[in-house]
Structure 1
Amino acid sequence: MPNASHPSFNAYKSRTSAALQWLVQQQQWREQAANLLQRRIERDRAALEGTLESLRGAQDWSDFGAATQTVWRDYLLASAALWQENVAATVQGTGVWANAVRDMSQQWQDTLEKLKPGAVAQPGRSGAALPMREWMAAFERAMSAAGSAGTAVSKDAAQAHGGQHGR
């Protein structure tokens, strides 16, 4: 059976695919956020248990002070690691979002060109598409610059994390 082109179905398929991809990415972000929340809860519980254990084992104020310093150091180190992971995830999520918007816009533009009455499949020949192409080019340049800056930030964070904690 020949594969006939159905421009209105293709437009629907393109929009629906983009929306579903966006929903998948949102679900991944929610899972990542829930994972970070769980780790924060575990960090807080460990600090409370450590403080309680310090109090039980302390013979005087200096014992208690020394033991709680260790608890607070561990708490702050865990907090810094979580913060760095959150920053890296945010930078990565921004790049994924930018790529999805770029792809969705390109699909939308291609679909609109095919839906025009009497449209001939000649890429780059449509005058109506020029403003969209200019906008997409500017958007891609901005996202590329943002991605480069974000990559530098996440590399700096990773180096600071690795160098500071010996990992």
Structure 2
Amino acid sequence: MPLRLIVMRHAKSSWDDPLLDDYDRVLNARGRRNAQAVGMWLRDAGYAPDQVLFSAAARTTETCDLVCEAGGFQAERTRSRRLYHASAETILEHVRRATGDAVMVIGHNPGIADFAARFAVALSTSPDFARYPTAATTVFDVVGDRWEAVGFGKSTIIDFTIPASLQT
């Protein structure tokens, strides 16, 4: 089976408590709705992940839970503190250790946006791709049959969305 990679920035977080540590911020109401919308979009488009790698921060953990619940995904979930504000290189290290056929990574900007841009053989033409807003999601067909061998600049973007485009 060919490999597929789904790259998502966490959904919109709450800033209601200015004293709360960044790591502990949860999603706001819009973020929860957007994470669910992305989960349903992935399901409806046939992009179901069988493994999700995500930052251990509260907002990425919550994003993962809502995406998987809304999409009905029974994916293996791997939570990592090292994915919190990770660089593109650190994200690639995690992807190279993946075990699923369809892997999703949920992280933070600027690293997740940098990773998505560098992983692609050609950038998305969407004007939103460069800014990679909250809950932006890119789906790649991955060149190669082993995660250990994947690298930057080789895989094709087959889909990209942001929550605003999912609103009906």
Which range, TM-score by smaller chain?
Answer: under 0.3
Query: Structure 2-normalised TM-score?
Result: 0.21
Query: Which structure has the greater CA radius of gyration?
Result: 1
Query: Structure 1-normalised TM-score?
Result: 0.21
The structure carrying a bigger helix percent of its residues is 1
The structure carrying a bigger strand percent of its residues is 2
